[in-house]
Chains A and B, each alone.
Chain A
Amino acid sequence: MSDAKSLSPAEMPHSAAAKEVTRRDFLNEITLGALGIAGLGSVAVTYQYFSPNVLFEPSTTFRAGNPDLYPVHSVTFLQDQQVYIVRMPEGFYAVSAVCTHLGCITQWKPDSDMIACPCHGSKFKPEGTKIEGPAPRPLPHFVISLTADGELLVDKLQIIKPSQVLKV
């Protein structure tokens, strides 16, 4: 650049010309940047479009009736909700009936005192602990409480520790 002679951009040494941002480069970068932002934006709104805001699915909170319906030492399967209401001497708890392996609905086997999955043979104790696989995790426990009018209320969105039971 110290060269006194005036040079046209084409005649300039390569390193000097590279520093120069031409109008074409500038417009190219602006356009590509704008297209990139628009592209990312359309990915985002498409993702939003494909995630439904309203789901016509069964409510995750439900009433399970009066506690007296369930005798002590009993496991009751609620088919519509896919939940077991278990009443043991220490209290009530609600165990998911959906197998933690691949989502099949398990069955309570009173004769052998365990919950078994028909799809791939996982077995659980009534409190949800795994006896044998392929299920990777025990069956989760849901929050169970009493409503003001004395009915059992289960919330399937909230998972609690198996040690927490409802005493009625």
Chain B
Amino acid sequence: MATTFQSALQNLRETKVWKSIFRRGPANTNRTRSLAVFGNLFLHWMPVKVREKSLGVRASYYLGSISFILFIVLFVTGILLMFYYHPAAPHAYRDMKDLQFVVSNGVFLRNLHRLAAHLMVFAVFWHMFHVFYRGGYKPPHEFNWVVGVVLLLVTLFLSYTGYLLPWDQLAFWAVTVGTNIISAMPFIGNKVRFLLLGGNIVGENALLRFYVLHVVILPLVAFVLIGIHFWRVQKDGGLTVKPKDEDGKE
């Protein structure tokens, strides 16, 4: 059985299609393993070698990975929610209610999106605190620290713009209060608020603007910055690992 499977796999590896996708051949030596990482778009920014310690739980508590996985969950559930949501009054509120009570599994998707969003804010903050207390912002990681802080802000903006979309009282007053905070900026505050809301009150224009920010502009910014963030982790020499004491203890 095993040999049949292995010979079938061997035959598959001999085909032209397989060879055109995986040019390097099987990854069975250190050299071909590194080539497999280099030759893959999704892995090429990864280091070909990592210290075993930096893969341990205590090195990062996987907080960055958890944030990224939550981002992917939000990306997928968000796209699915978009199939039933119109960013216009009065549809927005009804669509949200339909997702809860009419659409099959809609309440599951909506709650998954909502809870993942809450968790992502929590995870990103925890990630930041962990990096801060480990001194992970110190050279040569200072640029990546700044990228991370911008990513924290993007996460908060994503949360805030998504908060308006259910178009209920909570959303309306949260955005009324939040955009009035913006108008407290000296000189340009009222202008910025007018541009953000597309008017003087939180109305249909504001809903549409927040929707476009939430589903297109901010996710794109987040994707690009996450790419830079991951890539820089490797280029700056991997995760910050606590050096060992002389007697070998951490």
Interface of B is mostly: helix
B198: chain A residues at CB < 8 Å are 50, 52
Residues on A with beta carbons closer than 8 Å to the beta carbon of B203: 56-57
Encode contact with A along B6-47: 1 for CB under 8 Å, 0 otherwise.
000000000000000000000000000000000000000000
With A50-B195, A51-B194, A103-B180: A56-B173 Cβ-Cβ less than 8 Å: no
* Residue pair B195, A103 in contact (C-beta under 8 Å): no
Chain A positions within 8 Å of B204 at CB level: 56
A57–B200 CB distance below 8 A: yes
Query: Is A40 close to B, CB under 8 A?
Result: no
Is B199 in contact with chain A by the CB < 8 A criterion? yes
8 residue pairs from A and B, CB less than 8 Å apart:
A50-B198, A52-B199, A56-B203, A57-B201, A103-B176, A103-B180, A119-B173, A119-B177
How far does the Cβ of B44 sit from chain A's closest Cβ, in whole Å? 33
Known: A50-B195, A102-B181. A55 touches B200 (CB 8 A): yes
Interface residues on A, range: 10 to 19
Closest to A120 in B: B177
Asked if A166 is at the interface (CB within 8 A of a chain B CB), the reply is no
B205 at interface by CB-CB < 8 Å: yes
Q: Give the nearest-CB partner of B173 in chain A.
A: A104
Per-residue contact bits, chain A 43-62, to B (CB 8 Å; 1 contact, 0 not): 00001001110011100000
Contacts of A47 on B, CB cut-off 8 Å?
A: 195
The reply to whether A52 and B205 form a contact with Cβ atoms under 8 Å apart is yes
Q: Shortest distance in angstroms between A47's beta carbon and chain B's nearest beta carbon?
A: 8
Check if B199 sits within 8 Å of A55, measured CB to CB: yes
In order of increasing CB-CB distance, the 9 nearest A-B pairs are A103-B180, A102-B177, A102-B180, A103-B176, A55-B199, A50-B195, A52-B198, A57-B201, A57-B199
Question: Interface SS of chain A: helix, strand, loop or mixed?
Answer: loop
Contacting B195 at CB < 8 Å: which of A51, A56, A57, A104? Answer: A51
Interface membership of chain B positions 67-97, coded 1 if the CB is closer than 8 angstroms to chain A and 0 otherwise: 0000000000000000000000000000000
In the complex, what's the smallest C-beta–C-beta distance from A62 to chain B, in angstroms? Answer: 15
Once bound together, how far apart are the Cα atoms of A117 and B177, in whole Å? 13
A46 to B32, CA, bound (A): 51
Within 8 A of A (CB), among B196-234: 198-201, 203-205
Measured between beta carbons, the chain A residues less than 8 angstroms from B177 are 102-104, 119
Which residues does chain B contribute within 8 Å of A55, judged by CB atoms?
199-200, 205
Q: In whole angstroms, what is the CA distance A51 to B200 when docked?
A: 11
Instruction: Give Cα distance in the complex from A52 to B200, angstroms.
Output: 10
Q: Interface centre among A51, A56, A103, by most B CB within 10 Å? A: A103
Residues of A within 8 A of B179 (CB): 103
> Which parts of B155-199 form the interface with A (CB within 8 Å)?
173, 176-177, 179-181, 194-195, 198-199
Contacting residues of chain A (33-85) with chain B, CB-CB under 8 angstroms: 47, 50-52, 55-57
Complex CA–CA separation, A103 to B198 (angstroms):
17
Q: How far is the CB of A142 from chain B (nearest CB, A)?
A: 15
* Residues on A with beta carbons closer than 8 Å to the beta carbon of B200: 55, 57
Interface string of A89-104 (1 = CB under 8 A from B): 0000000000001111
| Contact status of A102 and B176, CB under 8 A, knowing A51-B194, A52-B205 | yes
